[in-house]
Amino acid sequence: MNINMDERRLSIVVFSLFFSWLLAFPFEGQVLYALADSFRIDPHSMIFGSIAVHVAGLFFCGFLIKTMKAARRLMLFSIVFCILGTGVFFFNPSVLWNIALISGSFLAGGCVAAWGFYFKSGTPSNERIKTAADVLIYSNILMIMMNMAAIHLSPYAGLGLSMLMLGGAFLFAARLPCGCAGSVPVR
């Protein structure tokens, strides 16, 4: 089955899948709360740290990523890292939870900022509000599905579903154009 999508639609799918994981897991998501609750640990310090480094990732990406090719590479690397980091939460709590959450949140911030290249290049200026609305709607619908799975089935069902979202985000991100013809910086 070959689904042809333009850059705008493809970027919406990638970001919706990725951002739903971000909302459901490290960014005060119910999946993380359900996991922490199942082990009777307080997630608040982990969550505060993950939000702080997420903002740092958003900020630093603007300084480090200057081309579409670099943005795509960062997105792909970030998604793979986030899949692996999320997988750590299938095991009992340890220092690895903190390391995975903090480093994954930093890279997630970079991934969100890198997506801005595709938002700007693939969406005509008169459709940017529609694109932003689409992303918010779809990512929230997916987040609700993950939250419901974590709360009503098991924390691990929500965790597994969140990893599936990341896997889908990776598959679609691999189809994003890289702007390799000259790698012109996007301003």
CB-CB contact of 102 with 52 (8 Å):
no
Give the tens place of pLDDT for each residue, 75-129: 999 999 999 999 999 999 999 999 999 999 999 999 999 888 888 887 888 888 9
Give the tens place of pLDDT for each residue, 35-85: 999 999 988 878 888 889 999 999 998 788 888 898 899 999 999 999 999
Give the C-alpha distances (Å, rounded to integers) separating 15 from 76, 95, 100, 151, 180.
12, 29, 21, 24, 21
Euclidean distance between CA atoms 80 and 111, whole angstroms = 11
28 against 149, higher pLDDT: 149
Give the C-alpha distances (Å, rounded to integers) separating 180 from 7, 70, 72, 87, 185.
15, 10, 10, 32, 11
* Fold (CATH) for 7-173: Growth Hormone; Chain: A; (1.20.1250)
The ranges assigned to domains in the chain are 7-173
**Average pLDDT estimate for 21-39:** 90
CB-CB contact of 181 with 64 (8 Å):
no
